[in-house]
Amino acid sequence: MALEFTDTNFQSDVLDSETLTVVDFWAEWCGPCRAIGPVIEELAKEYEGKVKVGKVNVDQNPNTSVQFGITSIPAILFIKDGKVVDKQIGAVPKAVLDKKIKSHL
C-alpha cells in the first residue's frame, strides 16, 4: 500500500531517505489524480522493499506542495538522496512511471 506523506513527515520519510521515493501529489477533487491512484498502489506493491511509494494530499499538506512548486496535479516526483531526480506531470500509463523508476534504481 502507498505510504502517506505529510508536511510533518516529509523531511524524515522522503528527503532524509537514501531510498528512491516516488511521491504522488494529488487531491480528492482531481479526476486524473483518482485515475492514476490505482497505478500508484500497484507500483507500491511491486517495488515494496526497494522503492518507497507514497502520496501527498495537496489540500491537507500545503507547505510541502509549495516547497516543491506543485502547480498542476497529479504531479509525481522521483526523489533520491533529498533531491528531485525526475518528475511526471499528469496521468500517464503505468509503463511510463515504471521506466522512470527503473532508470533511477
Catalytic residue IDs: 30, 33
Cell numbers that stand for 6 in this block: 505529510
**Residue 98: partners with Cβ closer than 8 Å, 6 or more residues away:** 43
Three-state DSSP at 45 gives helix
84 beta partners: 79
